[in-house]
A and B are shown apart, each in its own frame.
Chain A
Amino acid sequence: MNDPDLKLVKKAKQGDQHAFGKLVKKYQNKILYLAYDLVGNYTDAQDVAQNTFLHAFKNIPYFRDESSFSTWIYRIATNAAIDFQRSKKRRRQIFINQSKYDEQDQPYLENVEDPAVSIIKDLENSDLKELISELMEQLSPQQRAAFVLKFFHDKTTEEIAKIIECNPVTVRGHLLRATIKLRKKLKDER
């Protein structure tokens, strides 16, 4: 396998923190955006990204060269984001039970504006954002991950299969279901 990060990974595995620092620098924004695409706000995305790098740092000695470093770090980040979403959902359900709050009123991207975001006042984009966020709400964590990795991060089907640890056929199924749902939403909008 031709992994462009192989040299740095080898050094990092031997305890070279400088090499690991270079890997962090290379992937810090990509992982932050992936986490944002999956959890929906930058404050939580930052936590997910930091946990991802911490996990990677602690486990890099056990990293085997069966996949590329990029696939490995994306897998850690995706799992961290899915776990974060699940725990958040559990917390929210407890809150809902307490306050009899209707869960359907809570969109994927919360209505409250993320203070970390510089607001781009683009109405068309905000409509689209709403649509996509609604779509995300309807997808399972794996479907959501497949959709994000394909359309926002340009990963191949094989890579996605490795990242979310499932069969490539399943990935194709997830993508088709997600796109059909979005298509339907777009038609309804018109």
Chain B
Amino acid sequence: MSSCNQKHFTVDYFFDELTDDQKLKYENHLKRCELCQQHLDALKGTATAVKRFQRQQPDKKFLKNYHRQLQEQFSSEKKRTPIIDKVIDIFIRRPSIAIRIAEAVALLIVGVFIGRNFVWQSEFLRTPLSQYQNNYQILNEDLLLKNYLRETEMVLLDVSNLDPVEDQKIIFNLIQSTKYRYLLQKTALLKNQAYELEDQQLIELLNRVELILLELCNLEEQVSPAAIDEIKQQLKRSYLLMEIKSIKHQEI
């Protein structure tokens, strides 16, 4: 007999892992099956040999060293308190879908905050007026005027304090920056608004600012101390700075 479909029961029978019912059935089978008897004998022989076989014991010093090394190995692992581990588990290791969504939303909010405060704002300042003209309607008109006056005042103050001989670099930078041009565009835009509102005082002020700004723009290619002096004198005569200051403190 070369094969028996019950031969695998021999192992369970020998190691007493069969139920009583299975055991009884197998014992009946065993009486008739030569192959299973051979397998059972082989198992008995192996078990006897293994019983006699003694595993070589490790040296005591070796065993002590092994235990010490295990202890050292695990004490070198980073210790974590259960609370920290729980937090890491919840948020990093195994976050639920809700936590993942919340993390994504939080990340988005942080991104928008950073963007609005550090990227979009500066981009807004650098964008020529013609590009954000379409958004003009949504801006608060008063706020636009206030900002405009603040910017104009700053530029005019810079100009009035310039030393034509010593501040050549600053003059060059001022002219290089196209801020004057934006101010010029903003002036034109506000003038249109002022015409619509029929605000004569504002129209007159904007006209005078426009004149000074035009002079500044013309300086782009010819920066001479005399030219700067002339603009400074013009600015002084116009009392623009004083007027802007007083308007800023009034209700517009």
Contacts and interface: CB of A to CB of B under 8 A. Distances in A.
Q: Do A and B bind each other?
A: yes
A122 interface: yes
B11 A17 contact: no
Contacts, number: 127
Nearest to A15: B85
Contact of A118 (B43, B57, B67, B86): B57
Interface stretch (B72-80, B165-173, B226-234): B72-80
Contact of A176 (B8, B53, B69): B8
Interface residues of A, number: 52
B55 A33 contact: yes
A21 B77 CA distance: 12
Interface in B149-184: none
A157 B15 contact: yes
A24 interface: yes
Contacts of A57: 74, 77
Pick the 9 closest A-B CB pairs, nearest first. Answer: A15-B85, A183-B42, A172-B8, A116-B62, A179-B46, A179-B42, A172-B11, A14-B82, A151-B50
Interface of A: 14-17, 20-21, 24, 28-29, 32-33, 36-37, 42, 46, 49-50, 53-54, 57, 61, 114, 116-120, 122, 124-125, 128-129, 131-132, 150-152, 156-158, 169, 171-173, 175-176, 178-180, 182-183, 186
Given A172-B11, A172-B12, A176-B43, 19 more contacts: A15-B81, A16-B82, A24-B74, A29-B63, A42-B58, A46-B66, A50-B69, A53-B74, A118-B58, A119-B56, A122-B54, A125-B53, A132-B49, A157-B12, A179-B39, A179-B42, A179-B43, A179-B46, A182-B42
